[in-house]
């Protein structure tokens, strides 16, 4: 509760800064729109040549995309600072200042930044979701709407957990950004029906880097012929477990940092 | 003078090697991405026609592998430049006895050498052993490919500097860099093969420098571009390189005037 | 207040062979070298003490401070600050300490410092009235008024350091660690900062631990010094005591009207020694520097003897600098 209030204070301070960089704000939002457009266009171009991808229609794939984008936007808006822990704080020793403050250092890192283009991402995610839903014949009940919200939150949580996990490597290797970026790129492709990949890759995206639970599995809960409706319901569990593992790992990283001092 | 730039490039190679974990992780993640691409296209072909615009599955895989291989080189020293600008280093560097932009290009080439070892080599091994990608159709194509690739990479490096210079005007260029990544990923043909673009977009793209960075060298490799047509495209690449280079110099000198007059 | 017992810290440093070949080799295997940064040190500091922690570059000062503030975990030994073990109970320790680390900022880079202070108020849970009072006082003593609306990003070093200092004291910490707080500052700003630290110590009995290479800082702020070298404590005690012990060596520089064959006046001959100072080295041939022991002869005596023998245009007396003392200890031991 205290942290929530504290986050509020951080947030307003950040907003004031943001207003000073309005141009960067606009460019940021615009590029996010463009990136999203690029990947949707990619799908469109491919679907111009085929009717379905392993049984998934264009709008069903778009639905997966929508969940991924919305979930990712949660991560993007609130947790974006995780990306750059290495070069922003650890490389130059700036991280020390979080250690002499009476708040959780992880909270401090996270609260230190609000990524404005995340809002653009959120908007696009919602647009994609609505477009897809209007072309799909899903019967919407209150329960399903709630389920969708839970799924999206879980998707965001999985993104956060994976990023936190790999960002934590910075404590040992100074800057893990290349790994974080590399892993994040894998998420792009977790937005397609997982069935197109080989067993090993499916396993990787399910058990090792659970990006499958950021888009494909949660979407499957709503698509009857997906064949993954029951696995889909595990999404919130996976989210909680992966957050727990990532936080545990973070704790280990922190201890390593305070004993090696760099 | 050349010697100095050579040493600068070498220092960057050493720096890259110094971060051991960096090296291995970058290698693994590039292999991973390649695998994902491979499966994606396999699934597309399994669901659709056996040929897309004359590209069979193995042609498409060849295209994607070579394209993402070259695509990895389309970045440059713009990020470093922007950092220097923001940190005020640019003014200090003005006192050094070398040309800053050339120094950055040298650093960048050093970085690319490391990139070649940790990304290109493993991708090539993977591609030939497991994906069975095609070889260039002729000796001519094989000879022309490195030339065209070099031109493409240099265009990319200059273009990146151009984005970096923008930091003089906008302070924060993170947004701009993301934008650049998006534009390049798309228009160079790295993500979506240019021949799959709708007709109007292909025509627009013909007037942009981006397809010179990746699409042209890849097409020479696959044999889609050959003979006189290929030479014309290489000429266009050279023209773009010159154009972007001059543009970079021009904006740089303007920005420098601003720095020396207004103190950054 | 602070209790340090048998504290040690080793760093592991990856060794690499020179050249590109070495760089490639380091990808596959690495050798580590152990660097003993702090070695078995112990000391106690009482509430309200102001301690100068000094030593050459790389002596282990920052390493010690990091362990005291909870940023580093010791390899062995125990630290207690106000009864709390900093590296085990970091957050609890954090609310009772303040810190300034050299040129590294604790404030938020992009945010006007007024906002920064406001955030810090919430982070440290400082009651509003206390916060207002303190901020007002800091603004006054450190002359922060014109700076409050500016982000750290746009400040000069001296402005930044003042802002920084206020941030470190905002939650009225029991202990403050200052790691080179005056590095790179001009005399006026240094004075202001020193006055501020003294004032805080007087009002709040704040315990201060200060590392610095500026001996003026030590002389004006501290009543006790701990000298560390190669990770070990060389000296721990009152500043006055060490001054008395070593600080008896003085030098006077004379500017003579003319200098043809200078010899030391007979009355001084056994007690005074001519030394070559930087003035002579700089080619001022009319300069003479005499060094003597304050216990054997006073400065007044030396000057009056010299004035009888020569025509003196100007003279300067070197202050007793603790810097010299420390150097002597480094070179000769206690
Ligand atoms: N993170 C680190 N990793 C490895 N070695 C370190 C690290 N930090 C410090 N050292 C080494 O430990 C020793 C003590 O360093 P420390 O920073 O404590 O010195 P210092 O007394 O603060 O010096 P200075 O006056 O230069 O600030 C030095 O030899 C230094 O090289
Ligand atoms: Mg130090």
Q: What ipTM did this prediction achieve?
A: 0.75
pLDDT digit string, tens, across residues C133-159: 999 999 988 888 888 888 887 888 888
pLDDT of amino acid A63:
93
Mutate to test the interface with B, among A33, A38, A194 (most CBs of B within 10 A): A38
User: Min CA distance, C24 vs chain B (Å)?
Assistant: 6
Nearest to C27 among B10, B13, B23 (CB): B23
First to last CA, chain B: 28
Decide if A199 touches B, using CB distance below 8 A: no
Look at C20 and B230; give whichever has higher pLDDT.
B230
Residue B88 in this model has a pLDDT that exceeds 50: yes
Minimum mean pLDDT among A17-21, A58-62, A254-258: which range?
Answer: A17-21
Determine whether the interchain pair B197/A45 forms a contact, defined as Cβ–Cβ distance below 8 Å. Answer: yes
Determine whether the interchain pair C99/A100 forms a contact, defined as Cβ–Cβ distance below 8 Å. Answer: yes
Q: What are phi and psi of C199, to 5 degrees?
A: -65, -45
Contacts of C16 in chain B (CB under 8 A): 18
Minimum mean pLDDT among B149-163, C64-78, C299-313: which range?
Answer: C299-313
pLDDT digit string, tens, across residues A61-77: 999 999 999 999 999 88
Element counts in chain A: helices (H) and strands (E): 13, 0
Average pLDDT on C293-320 reads: 82
Residue A244 in this model has a pLDDT that exceeds 90: yes
Q: How confident is the model at residue B106 (pLDDT cuts 50, 70, 90)?
A: confident
Cβ neighbours of residue A184 closer than 8 Å, sequence gap 6 or more? A162, A163
pLDDT of amino acid C294:
75
Question: Which tokens hold the place of A219?
Answer: 């979407």
pLDDT of amino acid C21:
65
- How far is ligand 1, taken at its centre, from the CA of residue A262, in Å? 11
C13 touches ligand 1 (CB under 6 Å): yes
Contacts of A197 in chain B (CB under 8 A): 36, 39-40, 43
Decide if A20 touches C, using CB distance below 8 A: yes
Minimum mean pLDDT among A9-23, A99-113, C151-165: which range?
Answer: A9-23
Q: Which residue has the tokens 């971060």?
A: B19
Residue A262 in this model has a pLDDT that exceeds 60: no
Question: Which tokens hold the place of C95?
Answer: 């609310």
pLDDT of amino acid C64:
92
pLDDT of amino acid B264:
42
Q: How confident is the model at residue C285 (pLDDT cuts 50, 70, 90)?
A: low
Contacts of B23 in chain C (CB under 8 A): 27
Residues of chain C with CATH 3.40.50.300: 47-230
Residue A216 in this model has a pLDDT that exceeds 80: yes
Contacts of B30 in chain A (CB under 8 A): 182
pLDDT digit string, tens, across residues C189-218: 888 899 999 999 999 999 999 998 887 888
* CATH number given to C247-332: 3.30.70
Decide if A178 touches B, using CB distance below 8 A: yes
Residue C321 in this model has a pLDDT that exceeds 70: no
C62 touches ligand 1 (CB under 6 Å): yes
A25-39, A111-125, C9-23: which is most confident: A111-125
Rounded distance between C-alpha atoms, residue C24 and residue B13, angstroms: 10
Q: How confident is the model at residue B2 (pLDDT cuts 50, 70, 90)?
A: confident
User: Min CA distance, A89 vs chain C (Å)?
Assistant: 11
Q: How confident is the model at residue C28 (pLDDT cuts 50, 70, 90)?
A: low
Residue B23 in this model has a pLDDT that exceeds 80: no
Contacts of B182 in chain A (CB under 8 A): 31, 34-35, 38
Average pLDDT on A176-198 reads: 80
How many CB atoms sit inside 10 A of residue B227's CB? Answer: 10
pLDDT of amino acid C30:
67
Number of residues written out for chain B: 264
Residues of chain C with CATH 3.30.70: 247-332
Q: Which of residues 55-114 of A touch B (CB under 8 A)?
A: none
3-state secondary structure A104-166: CHHHHHHHCCCCCHHHHHHHHHHHHHHHHHHHCCCCCCHHHHHHHHHHHHHHHHHHHHHHHHH
Q: Which residue has the tokens 């509003």?
A: C128
Q: Is A47 exposed, middle or buried (0-12, 13-18, 19+ CB in 10 A)?
A: buried
Average pLDDT on A227-255 reads: 92
Nearest CA in chain A to C75: A259
A74-83, A141-150, B198-207, C178-187: which is most confident: A141-150
Residue B68 CA to its chain's centroid (Å): 9
Residue among B233, B193, B202, B229 at smallest CA distance from B66: B193
Residue C118 in this model has a pLDDT that exceeds 70: yes
- How far is ligand 2, taken at its centre, from the CA of residue B200, in Å? 63
Q: Are the C-beta atoms of A101 and C171 separated by less than 8 Å?
A: no
Question: Which tokens hold the place of A140?
Answer: 């919407």
Nearest CA in chain C to A108: C123
Contacts of C151 in chain A (CB under 8 A): 17
pLDDT digit string, tens, across residues C42-63: 999 999 999 999 888 888 998 9
Rounded distance between C-alpha atoms, residue C292 and residue C290, angstroms: 7
Contacts of A16 in chain C (CB under 8 A): 111, 115
pLDDT of amino acid B35:
81
pLDDT digit string, tens, across residues B146-205: 999 999 999 999 999 888 888 877 766 667 777 788 788 888 888 778 888 888 888 988
- How far is ligand 1, taken at its centre, from the CA of residue C183, in Å? 17
Mutate to test the interface with B, among C13, C20, C27 (most CBs of B within 10 A): C27
Cα dihedral across residues C131, C137, C138, C144: positive or negative? positive
Decide if B113 touches C, using CB distance below 8 A: no
For chain A, which chains pass the contact test of at least 3 CB pairs under 8 Å?
Answer: B, C
C86 touches ligand 1 (CB under 6 Å): no
Q: What share of chain B in percent tops pLDDT 70?
A: 93
Nearest to A182 among B29, B47, B183 (CB): B29
Q: What share of chain B in percent tops pLDDT 90?
A: 16
Cβ neighbours of residue B52 closer than 8 Å, sequence gap 6 or more? A49, B45, B60, B196
Q: What are phi and psi of B190, to 5 degrees?
A: -75, -40
How many CB atoms sit inside 10 A of residue C28's CB? Answer: 7
What residue owns the CA closest to ligand 1's atom 16? C60
Residue C94 in this model has a pLDDT that exceeds 60: yes
Whether the predicted model's global pTM rises above the 0.80 cut? no
Decide if A252 touches C, using CB distance below 8 A: no
Minimum mean pLDDT among A105-119, A138-152, C17-31, C121-135: which range?
Answer: C17-31
Nearest to B20 among C19, C20, C26 (CB): C26
pLDDT of amino acid C27:
60
C35 touches ligand 1 (CB under 6 Å): yes
Average pLDDT of chain C to the nearest whole number: 83
Residue C33 in this model has a pLDDT that exceeds 90: no
Distances (CA, A) of B98 to A220, B95, B101, B103, B212: 59, 9, 9, 7, 30
* Domain C47-230 of CATH type 3.90.1150.10: no
A136-150, B50-64, C211-225: which is most confident: A136-150
- How far is ligand 1, taken at its centre, from the CA of residue C65, in Å? 11
- How far is ligand 2, taken at its centre, from the CA of residue A128, in Å? 54
Q: Which residue has the tokens 């200052």?
A: C178
Determine whether the interchain pair B26/A178 forms a contact, defined as Cβ–Cβ distance below 8 Å. Answer: yes
- How far is ligand 2, taken at its centre, from the CA of residue C47, in Å? 24
Question: Which tokens hold the place of C332?
Answer: 């000769």
Contacts of B173 in chain A (CB under 8 A): 24
What residue owns the CA closest to ligand 1's atom 3? C11
C326 touches ligand 1 (CB under 6 Å): no
Determine whether the interchain pair C94/A16 forms a contact, defined as Cβ–Cβ distance below 8 Å. Answer: no
Question: Which tokens hold the place of A34?
Answer: 């463009």
Look at A240 and C35; give whichever has higher pLDDT.
A240
What residue owns the CA closest to ligand 1's atom 22? C62
Determine whether the interchain pair C23/B24 forms a contact, defined as Cβ–Cβ distance below 8 Å. Answer: no
C232 DSSP β-pair partners: C229
pLDDT of amino acid C330:
67
Average pLDDT on B230-248 reads: 94
A102 touches ligand 1 (CB under 6 Å): no
Residue among A10, A21, A156 at smallest CA distance from A76: A156
Q: Which residue has the tokens 């984008």?
A: A69
Residue C23 in this model has a pLDDT that exceeds 70: no
Closest ligand 1 atom, CA of C66?
A: 18
């Amino acid at each position: 509760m205290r942290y929530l209030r504290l986050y509020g204070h951080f947030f307003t301070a950040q907003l004031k800064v943001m207003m000073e960089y309005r141009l960067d704000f606009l460019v940021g939002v615009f590029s996010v729109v463009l990136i999203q457009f690029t990947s949707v266009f990619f799908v469109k171009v491919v679907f111009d040549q085929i009717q379905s991808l392993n049984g998934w229609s264009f709008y069903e794939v778009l639905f997966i995309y929508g969940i991924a984008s919305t979930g990712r936007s949660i991560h993007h808006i609130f947790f974006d600072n995780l990306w750059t822990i290495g070069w922003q704080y650890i490389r130059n020793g700036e991280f020390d200042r979080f250690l002499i403050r009476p708040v959780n250092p992880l909270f401090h890192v996270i609260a230190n930044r609000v990524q404005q283009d995340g809002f653009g991402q959120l908007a696009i995610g919602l647009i994609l979701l609505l477009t897809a839903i209007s072309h799909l014949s899903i019967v919407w009940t209150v329960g399903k709407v709630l389920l969708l919200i839970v799924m999206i939150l879980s998707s965001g949580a999985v993104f956060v957990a994976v990023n936190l996990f790999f960002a934590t490597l910075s404590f040992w290797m100074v800057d893990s950004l290349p790994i974080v970026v590399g892993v994040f790129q894998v998420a792009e492709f977790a937005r397609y029906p997982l069935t197109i990949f080989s067993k090993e890759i499916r396993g990787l995206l399910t058990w090792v880097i659970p990006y499958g639970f950021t888009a494909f599995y949660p979407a499957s809960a709503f698509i009857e012929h997906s064949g993954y409706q029951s696995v889909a319901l595990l999404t919130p569990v996976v989210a909680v477990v992966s957050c727990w593992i990532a936080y545990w790992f973070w704790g280990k990283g922190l201890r390593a940092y305070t004993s090696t001092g760099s | 003078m050349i010697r100095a730039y050579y040493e600068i490039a070498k220092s960057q190679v050493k720096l890259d090697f110094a971060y051991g974990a960096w090296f291995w992780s970058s290698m693994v993640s590039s292999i991973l991405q390649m695998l994902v691409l491979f499966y994606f296209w396999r699934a597309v072909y399994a669901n659709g026609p056996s040929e897309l615009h004359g590209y069979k599955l193995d042609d498409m895989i060849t295209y994607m592998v070579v394209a993402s291989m070259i695509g990895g080189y389309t970045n440059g020293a713009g990020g470093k430049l922007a950092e220097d600008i923001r940190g005020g280093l640019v003014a200090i560097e003005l006192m050094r006895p070398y040309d800053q932009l050339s120094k950055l290009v040298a650093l960048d080439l050093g970085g690319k050498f490391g990139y070649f070892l940790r990304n290109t080599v493993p991708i090539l091994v993977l591609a030939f052993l497991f994906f069975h990608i095609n070889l260039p159709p002729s000796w001519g194509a094989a000879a022309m490919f490195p030339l065209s690739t070099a031109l493409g990479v240099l265009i990319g490096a200059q273009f990146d500097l151009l984005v970096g210079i923008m930091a003089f005007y906008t302070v924060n260029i993170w947004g701009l860099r993301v934008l650049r990544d998006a534009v390049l990923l798309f228009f160079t043909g790295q993500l979506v093969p240019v021949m799959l673009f709708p007709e109007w977009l292909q025509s627009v793209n013909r007037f942009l420098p981006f397809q010179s960075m990746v699409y042209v060298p890849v097409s020479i490799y696959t044999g889609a571009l050959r003979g006189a047509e290929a030479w014309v495209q290489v000429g266009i690449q050279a023209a773009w390189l010159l154009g972007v280079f001059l543009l970079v110099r021009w904006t740089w000198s303007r920005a420098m005037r601003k720095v020396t007059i207004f103190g950054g | 207040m602070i209790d340090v017992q048998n504290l040690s810290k080793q760093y592991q440093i990856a060794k690499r062979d020179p050249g590109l070949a070495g760089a490639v080799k380091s990808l596959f295997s690495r050798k580590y070298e152990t660097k003993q940064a702090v070695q078995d040190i112990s000391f106690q500091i009482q509430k309200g003490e102001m301690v100068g922690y000094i030593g050459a570059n790389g002596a282990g000062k920052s390493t010690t401070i990091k362990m005291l503030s909870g940023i580093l975990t010791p390899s062995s030994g125990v630290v207690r600050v106000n009864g709390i073990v900093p590296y085990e109970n970091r957050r609890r320790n954090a609310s009772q300490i303040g810190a300034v680390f050299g040129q590294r900022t604790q404030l938020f880079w992009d945010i006007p410092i007024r906002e920064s202070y406001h955030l810090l108020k919430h982070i440290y849970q400082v009651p509003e009235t206390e916060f207002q009072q303190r901020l007002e006082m800091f603004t006054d003593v450190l002359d922060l008024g014109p700076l409050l609306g500016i982000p750290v990003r746009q400040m000069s070093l001296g402005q930044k350091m003042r802002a920084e200092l206020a941030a470190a004291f905002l939650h009225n910490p029991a202990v403050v660690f200052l790691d080179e707080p005056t590095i790179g500052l001009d005399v006026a700003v240094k004075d202001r900062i020193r006055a501020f630290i003294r004032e805080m110590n007087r009002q709040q009995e704040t315990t201060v631990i200060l590392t610095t290479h500026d001996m003026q800082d030590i002389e004006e702020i501290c009543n006790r010094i701990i000298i560390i070298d190669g990770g070990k404590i060389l000296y721990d005690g009152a500043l006055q005591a060490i001054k008395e012990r070593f600080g008896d060596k003085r030098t006077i520089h004379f500017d003579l009207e003319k200098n043809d064959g200078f010899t030391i006046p007979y009355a001084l001959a056994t007690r005074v020694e001519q030394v070559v100072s930087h003035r002579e080295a700089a080619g001022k041939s009319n300069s003479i520097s005499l060094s003597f022991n304050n216990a054997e002869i006073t400065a007044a005596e030396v000057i009056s003897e010299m004035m009888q023998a020569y025509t003196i245009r100007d003279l300067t007396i070197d202050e007793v600098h603790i810097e010299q003392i420390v150097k002597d200890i480094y070179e000769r031991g206690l």
